[in-house]
Amino acid sequence: MSESERDHKKLGKELELFTFSDTVGKGLPLWLPKGATVRRELERFIVDEEIRRGYLHVRTPDIAKLDLYKKSGHYPMYKDKMYAPIIIDDEEYMLRPMTCPHHFELYLTKPRSYRDLPMRIAELANLYRYEQSGELMGLLRVRSFCLSDAHIICKNEEQAVDEIGKALDLIEFVNTIFGLEMGKDYWYTLSMGDRKNTEKYYKDDAGWDKAENLLRESMKRRGASFTEAKDDAAFYGPKIDINMKNANGKEDTAFTVQYDLSSPHRFDLKYIGEDGKEHSAFVVHRSSIGAMERIMAFLIEKYAGAFPLWLAPVQVKILPIGESHFAYATEIMDALRATDIRVELDTSDETLGKKIRNYKTEKVPYALVIGDKEVADNKVTVESRDKGNLGAQDIEELVSALQKEISEKK
């Protein structure tokens, strides 16, 4: 399959995953039922996995006072990427372009002890950034997106470095589940600052030197290959970017882990140490699965729209040969739905051959053919998108096999 045929914009339309509307606005994706299903599975997967790894999932508002972003340093440094302020009750508010200041305010709701750290504050957060019209591209670059974001408050550099390693472990685990190979599908970049560019970066030369070296040494200890990119850091600190290439050959950052030199001071993030005294905290930013929109684009192109069973918007298509088989086909559909398997029943007047061609075009993982013999034997004939005809199976046997494949996320 050519790269153009893998383009997520083309497949997104053909498979009815997402759309855009000029009436709604440029760069604001609308998720169709099938695309929303894939996205929901991704969200459930990453939230459950993060909770297993000690993350505390929270919810914060999509809008905040402009003063919050002045405090964090994002405004005016980041204002070209932010939407214009909204006046409410004589105060200025903004649609949020990031969640870090929200999470820091959560941390500050009460005094913290060294025993509370590391505190991993996570959220699937809706963010809004003004991208130039010419830079918008499908789901890869949009103006509204949902980020799997987290901010880890640590008690010292050693703990921060350990958390960076754990964040990279999570990212590599996620990529393994997606079938992405390091060096082939994704690669690491150490993105560094520029000490001379004080307009773009937080001023702390010694801190930058130390932070960049910490990240560099962390990558070396992992034995991971990486390149270094100067003048490509976040304004508050260096970062490790996990980059991928889309079907158009352009490189984009999919996930990131960042070391924050600025926020502990701007927000006065403290904790009570073992000595009973206040100490400054350390902060790590990370995104485990990136923006839902961007990872969807990468996965659509990776799988050429043929999602693995656990992600497929429709997992099973039931194909009765004739109207006389509809009643039994409906029983099978209800049995599959009762086990949370996503299923559709094709009751069209098309021939079986056309129904099979349609199911293959829709890239559904499995089709169940039902005719006189299947009704008489109380079975279904299973067609696999990837393995061909699997023969007749009873419904209990089929459900067991499907559930196993879904749980293993192959």
Q: What is the pLDDT of residues 152-210, one digit of tens each?
A: 999 999 999 999 999 999 999 999 999 999 999 999 999 999 888 877 888 888 989 99
Domain boundary among 270, 303, 336: 303
What CATH number does the domain containing 181 carry? 3.30.930.10
Q: Are residues 298 and 352 in the same domain?
A: no
| pLDDT single digits (tens) 338-396 | 999 999 999 999 999 999 999 999 999 999 999 999 999 999 999 999 999 999 999 99
Q: Quote the pLDDT of residue 248.
A: 78
Q: For residue 231, is it left (φ>0), alpha (ψ between -120 and 50) or beta? A: left
Contact yes or no for 229/189 (Cβ under 8 A): yes
Tell me if 308 is assigned to some domain: no
Q: Give me the numbers of helices (H) and strands (E) for the chain, helices first please.
A: 14, 20
In a domain, 85, yes or no: yes
Say if residue 296 is in the same domain as residue 322. no
Rounded Cα distance between 304 and 315, Å, is: 16
**Contact 35/12 with Cβ under 8 angstroms?**
yes
Residue 402: CB partners within 8 Å, gap ≥ 6?
309, 315, 316, 336, 341, 366
Greatest alpha-carbon span in the chain:
79
What are the start-end ranges of the H helices in 258-394? Answer: 263-266, 292-303, 326-337, 352-361, 372-377
Nearest to 369 by CA among 357, 355, 358: 355
Coil, helix or strand at residue 272: strand
How many domains in the chain? 2
- Do 324 and 354 lie in a common domain? yes
Neighbours of 391 (CB within 10 A): 9
The yes-or-no verdict on residue 1 having pLDDT over 90 is no
Name the domain boundary from 256, 280, 303: 303
Residue 219 shares a structural domain with residue 167:
yes
Q: What strand order describes the sheet that includes 63-65? A: 63-65, 91-95, 86-88
Both tokens of 266, joined, read 């701007």
Domain boundary among 276, 303, 330: 303
Does residue 158 sit in the same domain as residue 234? yes
The pLDDT, as a whole number, for residue 394 is 95
Nearest to 106 by CA among 70, 78, 64: 64
Does any domain span residue 298?
A: yes
Q: Token digits for 268?
A: 């006065």
Q: Which domain holds residue 70?
A: 3-303
Domain CATH for 367: 3.40.50.800
In the structure, what pLDDT confidence band is assigned to residue 410 with cuts at 50, 70 and 90? confident
Cβ distance 363 to 307 under 8 Å? yes
Residue 78 banded pLDDT, cuts 50, 70, 90: confident
CA distance 46 to 216: 27
Q: Is residue 309 part of a domain?
A: no
247 and 377 in one domain? no
| Mean per-residue pLDDT over the chain, rounded | 95
Render the burial of 36-70: b for 16+ CB within 10 Å, e for the rest: ebbbebbeebbbebbeeeebeeeebeeebebebbb
Strands (E), 91-229: 91-95, 119-128, 144-154, 187-191, 226-229
pTM of the model: 0.95
For the chain, give the percent of residues with pLDDT over 90: 90
Question: Quick one: 327 and 192 in the same domain?
Answer: no
Dump pLDDT digits (tens) for 93-144.
999 999 999 999 999 999 999 999 999 999 999 999 999 999 999 999 999 9
Domain presence at residue 310: no
Residue 272 lies in a domain: yes
- Does residue 327 share a domain with residue 291? no
Within a domain: 364: yes
What pLDDT does residue 247 have? 77
* Per-residue tokens: 143: 């103006």
Q: What percent of the chain has pLDDT over 70?
A: 100
Q: Are 188 and 277 contained in the same domain?
A: yes
> Does the structure show a pLDDT above 90 at 245?
no
CB atoms within 10 A of CB 118: 18
- Tell me: do 280 and 322 sit in the same domain: no
Q: 316: pLDDT confidence band, cut at 50, 70 and 90?
A: very high
Nearest CA-CA partner of 142 in 279, 329, 296, 39: 296
Amino acid at 4: S
**What distance in Å separates the CA atoms of residue 203 and residue 131, rounded to the nearest whole number?**
27
Q: Are residues 258 and 371 in the same domain?
A: no
Cβ(296)–Cβ(38) below 8 Å: yes
Q: What is the DSSP letter of 196?
A: T
Q: Do 164 and 48 lie in a common domain? A: yes
Q: Do the domain assignments include residue 366?
A: yes
First to last CA, the chain: 22
User: Tell me: the pLDDT tens digits for 29-49?
Assistant: 999 999 999 999 999 999 999
